[in-house]
Structure 1
Amino acid sequence: MSFTMYVPTKILFGAGMLSELHKQELPGKKALIVISNGKSTRANGYLARAEEQLRLAGVESVVFDKVQPNPVKDQVLEGAAFAKANSCDFVVALGGGSCIDAAKAIAIMAVNNGDLWDYVASGTGKKKTIGTEPLPIVAISTTAGTGSEADAGCVITNPATNEKVGIKTPALFPKLCIEDIELMKSVPPMLTAYQGFDALSHSLEGYVSQFANLMSDMYAITAIEHVGCYLARAVKDGSDMEAREHVAFGNILSGTVMCVGTTSSQHSLEHALSAYHENLPHGAGLIMLSRAYFTNIIEHHVCDERFIRIAKAMGMEDAKEPMDFITVLGKLLQDCGVADLKMSDYGITPAEFPKMADNAMGPMGGLFACDRIRLTKEDCIAIYEKSYK
């Protein structure tokens, strides 16, 4: 039942909240705006609106626009050098989870020497303490998925070592988070599904983790209700603002789950997939693994009542068996049009599963300690095999 809670981010939630940015107490006078290397942030006018809000607040800004999905170390170091060269004193992340994660890592490296992997505490990381507090961060989210806009971590890939790992420190909590639902209307259906399932997974994993507690349970089950019951609507009609709002709310709550509880080894297993195949969206990988992963837990009967409670939260009011959760999960995936995603479409082959299992249990191995059942390498390979198409 014990928990520790520290979530200091100020959150402005709701449609139109970006227009409130200039009224906020901002943490500096020159901002590095971090956006993706795609076109949508500019094309939809979000960048221009953010720049205008900063101007109204008396803040200068420059733009770093090279972040890719599954952000990589070299982009972070380039962004940090750009921030230094332009004397930026805080970072504004404008985009989805990849932009926010990259912005957090850039905030570290803009004021600390060496290589980002010097400060990574797992795998080949050198486990050094972050000597200088990162630049302050303002997160303006345009997606509902990672919860990074309101949590204390970021995930970055090192292609040279095929490591996709997290860096977590309270100094990475954004000072301000703006969750403006209007910025999410333009997200395409498949990406809405991938991102929403990432948010859902944080809470599903948190609810069945052995470190679940009173506080994480409260956030997780509420997030599961909101995402589980509204995601399909948001996928089918991106302009359904009620559905967008519920999914975004669940996303924020799921971010808090990771602050007061934990996720589980499903995230490690997925990170190994996308560490070797950077074109695989994180949420898509989680979708592929989900049925086999959670079925494995259910078959060990370590928290049957929790799976029944989840099934009810996702809309199956008469759920009586833990496998009812797999039924309602399958229906959600069907309703979102993602039930038949194939690993093979991303170039993944079964021959890679042993090295992926080693990768999951190595650089991201800490999350395995959060499981109620201890997975072996053989278990991990079996989950990959059962998920493969």
Structure 2
Amino acid sequence: MEFDYFIPTKILFGRGKLDQLYKEKMPGKKALIVISAGKSTRANGYLQKVEEQMHKAGVETFVFDKILSNPINGHVMEGAVFAREKKCDFVVGLGGGSSIDSAKAIAVMSTNEGDFWDYISGGSGKGLQVKNDPLPIIAITTTAGTGTEADPWTVITKEETNEKIGFGYEKTFPVLSVVDPELMLTVPADLTAYQGFDALFHSTEGYINNTANVMSDIYSLKAIELISKNLATAVRDGKNIGARECVALGNTLAGMVESTSGCISEHSIEHAMSAFHPNLPHGAGLIMISKAYYSNFVENHACDEKFIEMARVMGKSNASNPMEFVEALVELQEACGVSELKMSDYGITKEELPDIAKNARHTMGGLFEVDPLPVSDETCLEILKQSYR
């Protein structure tokens, strides 16, 4: 019954919550708003809304709009220079996980010297300690995928070396997050599915993680239940605000799982896949390997009772066999129309699978250390081979 619990983020959750942002005490008078390089944040009016809220609160705003779907180190450094030039007091991440993750990294580098990769542990990172506190971070999520609004983590790719690695510590928790399901009504069906499964896997991985505890288990099971019961509806009918709301809550709870437990090697493997192929959506990559990945644990009887419990909250109320979790997972993927995703459609070849497996351990080997059962290099490669289409 021992655990450490620290989630210092104030969360405004619910329909229309963005309209109340101006009432909150802002951590400064100048804000850098970080958004993606795509058109949707502006086209849907979300940037305008946030700027109106900030101006109403007496905050001057500047926009950095270069973030890619798999954010890169170069843009983190460019954003940090821009924030210093404008003398910004805090950073606002507006959008999906890539924008909010980038905002966190930019907040770190706005107050510290060197390169962001100097502070990365793993791969070619130097693992240096962050000397100065980052700028305060506000997260406003327009998707339900990463839970980054409720955790300290940021995942960035060093584009020169194809290294995609996570980073975070207690100072990179957002001070304030807004989770407004009304901002998620415009997410396309395929991205809704990919993002929803990312949140689901944050929860399933956190539940079977060796660091799992009583608090993370509570968040994990509720997140798995909410997402598995509502994601297919949100995919089929994106305007269904009730389904969006439930998936959004599941996603935020999944972020709390990330703050109290964490991911395991499934995420290491996928990060390697999308490091080599940045056009691969993170959630899509996770879906591709998930059946083989979880089947490996089930077949080797790693935490059988936990797999049975996950199957039960996913709708198989009378589950008694761990493999019923894998069955429920596949059924959900079929219901969301993502069961036939192919690595080859994103340019991944069979010949590079060994390099992907090697990269997974080289960059994020720490996640392999908390697997419920050791996953060897050979097993990692076999999972990729079984998943390849």
Q: TM-score, normalised by structure 2?
A: 0.99
Which consecutive unaligned segments of at least 5 residues does structure 2 have? none
CA distance in 1 between counterparts of 2:359 and 2:129 reads 24
**Residue 192 of structure 1 pairs with residue 192 of structure 2:** yes
Aligned to 1:113: 113
CA distance in 2 between counterparts of 1:287 and 1:252 reads 20
> Moved runs in structure 1, 4+ residues, more than 3 A?
none
Aligned to 2:344: 344
Aligned to 2:155: 155
Aligned to 1:71: 71
CA distance in 2 between counterparts of 1:263 and 1:74 reads 26
CA distance in 2 between counterparts of 1:94 and 1:110 reads 18
Which amino acid is 1:81 matched to? Answer: V
Matches within 5 A, 1:203-242: 203-242=203-242
- For residues 305-328 of structure 1, the C-alpha deviation after alignment (integer angstroms, 9 at most, x for no partner) is 111110110111121211111111
CA distance in 2 between counterparts of 1:58 and 1:125 reads 39
User: Alignment RMSD, CA only?
Assistant: 0.7
Matches within 5 A, 1:370-385: 370-385=370-385
- For residues 87-127 of structure 1, the C-alpha deviation after alignment (integer angstroms, 9 at most, x for no partner) is 11100111000000000000011111111111111111111
Aligned to 1:332: 332
SS of 2:211's partner is coil
Which consecutive unaligned segments of at least 5 residues does structure 1 have? none
Matches within 5 A, 1:8-157: 8-157=8-157
CA distance in 2 between counterparts of 1:283 and 1:340 reads 14
Aligned to 1:281: 281
Matches within 5 A, 1:278-317: 278-317=278-317
User: How many Å apart are 1:211 and its aligned residue?
Assistant: 1.7
SS of 2:254's partner is helix
Q: TM-score, normalised by structure 1?
A: 0.99
User: How many Å apart are 1:7 and its aligned residue?
Assistant: 0.1
CA distance in 2 between counterparts of 1:150 and 1:214 reads 18
User: How many Å apart are 1:18 and its aligned residue?
Assistant: 0.3
Aligned to 2:388: 388
SS of 1:6's partner is coil
SS of 1:362's partner is helix
User: How many Å apart are 1:219 and its aligned residue?
Assistant: 0.5
Larger deviation, residues 179-188 vs 209-218: 209-218
Which amino acid is 1:330 matched to? Answer: V
Which amino acid is 1:178 matched to? Answer: V
**Residue 363 of structure 1 pairs with residue 344 of structure 2:** no
CA distance in 1 between counterparts of 2:209 and 2:78 reads 37
User: Is residue 154–residue 168 contact of structure 2 (8 Å, CA) maintained in 1?
Assistant: yes
**Residue 323 of structure 1 pairs with residue 323 of structure 2:** yes
Identity, in percent, stands at 56
User: How many Å apart are 1:223 and its aligned residue?
Assistant: 0.4
Which amino acid is 2:203 matched to? Answer: S
Which amino acid is 2:301 matched to? Answer: H
User: How many Å apart are 1:353 and its aligned residue?
Assistant: 1.2
Which amino acid is 2:215 matched to? Answer: M
- For residues 146-165 of structure 1, the C-alpha deviation after alignment (integer angstroms, 9 at most, x for no partner) is 01111011000001111100
Larger deviation, residues 313-322 vs 269-278: 313-322
CA distance in 2 between counterparts of 1:66 and 1:55 reads 22
- For residues 6-57 of structure 1, the C-alpha deviation after alignment (integer angstroms, 9 at most, x for no partner) is 0000000001000011000110100000000000011110000100000100
